[in-house]
Structure 1
Amino acid sequence: MSGPMGVSLRERVATNAATGSLQSAPKRGCPLCSSRCAAEDGPTVNRRRTDGRAMPGRYYEEFDVGETVAHDKRRTVSESDNQRFCDLTMNQQPLHLDAEFAAETRFGERLVNGLYTMSLAVGLSIPETTDGTIVANLSYDDVEHPEPVFHGDTLRAESTVSDKRETSDGERGVVTMHVEAYRVENGADTLVCEFDRTVLAEKRPDE
């Protein structure tokens, strides 16, 4: 999709993020009620937008470099999760989908799509980091998958704030977090995915 003068939407977003001129999206409440559904999300940190809606995400000022956040939510990955993700992304890799093919590999069974594992790690990290306070995700870097994930594995995530800086106009902030996803096991959990996530975050609104 192109905008004025033939400049694509992607190019405009990248330019605006670099200059700090990217505008926040319109603020919307929950489609089912006037506020966040605390029963689903658990305890909500007492922060509010200028429109009065509570949300658990952090503003730029609330990120501390070096802090590690162990995220509460976990998910057990099902065969259906893996199948639907591959279908939606048109990924026909038999190592993810074909049980007989996968049985003949060194893994002995189907592997969960690594991009699903990464996406799940991002999703698990949202409530305690950028839920309601993000302007945009800017990049995902240095992605690694040190161990495979299988159907039935339960995953958890941690985020460590590695860097932060204000935008050139001082109105927002750029925050980088190192995200790690672990397979939950008896004893020591196993690292299955890690990457750096950089976001453009809102600053705390004036009271």
Structure 2
Amino acid sequence: MPVNYEELTTGKYYEELEPGNVYKHSITRTVSEADNLFFSALTYNSAWLHTDEEYSKTTMWGTRIVNSMFTLALVCGVGVNDVTLGTTLGNLGFTEIKFPNPVFIGDTIHVETEVIGRRESKSRPDTGIVEFETRGYNQRDEVVVTLRRTGLMLKRSSRSDAS
């Protein structure tokens, strides 16, 4: 039997994504050494700050810091089930990405996503464009990443079961 993806959709449709809505995501994640090492290896990032503890002891951090691109990918992924699973057609862009504090191996990350703005699509009447701000925090509630992203979101009325 084929999968009915509409039944599995947990993301929000364009009409539900009101500016000012904040989604505090229930998924939290403790970052492991393997996460950092595998991500750095998979992306060919050989920066010693991520892979060499002895070198990192000589830096201002005194230990390895987690690859910031892993942190970015993690916080974006955490929000998928709550906000965009089955309702997005894709990311249109990322802006204002900031890493105000480093992530260290063993930090536990929690995430929230706020709807900043939205508008109807001019070229696709069954979609709208939504701007999100996602914020990631460590276990001490220090901000470790903020970003703005724009997504192309389906309208509920575009679904075959809409009445």
TM-score by length of 2: 0.92
Shift of 1:197: 1.1
Segments of structure 1 that go 5 or more residues without pairing to the other structure are: 1-28, 36-47
Alignment of 1:193-204 (within 5 A): 193-204=145-156
Aligned partner (choices 113, 126, 131) of residue 171 of structure 1? 126
1:131 maps to which residue? 85
Matched, 1:110 2:64: yes
1:40 maps to which residue? none
Q: Report Cα offsets for 1:145-170 as digits up to 9, x if no partner.
A: 00010000000101110010010142
Measured in 1, the distance between the counterparts of 2:150 and 2:57 equals: 38
Alignment of 1:78-117 (within 5 A): 78-117=32-71
TM-score by length of 1: 0.73
**How many pairs were matched up?**
157
Aligned residue for 2:84, secondary structure, equals: coil
1:190 maps to which residue? 142
Matched, 1:67 2:21: yes
Q: What percent of counterpart residues are identical?
A: 36
Measured in 1, the distance between the counterparts of 2:99 and 2:8 equals: 35
Q: Report Cα offsets for 1:124-143 as digits up to 9, x if no partner.
A: 11111101111011111000
Shift of 1:54: 2.4
Tell which structure's C-alpha radius of gyration is larger: 1
1:140 maps to which residue? 94
Measured in 2, the distance between the counterparts of 1:168 and 1:88 equals: 38
Segments of structure 2 that go 5 or more residues without pairing to the other structure are: none
Measured in 2, the distance between the counterparts of 1:192 and 1:103 equals: 21
Superposed CA RMSD in Å reads: 1.3
Matched, 1:55 2:14: no
Shift of 1:67: 1.1
Q: 4+ residue stretches of structure 1 with deviation over 6 A?
A: none
Greater relative contact order, per chain length (Cα 8 Å cut-off, separation 6+): 2
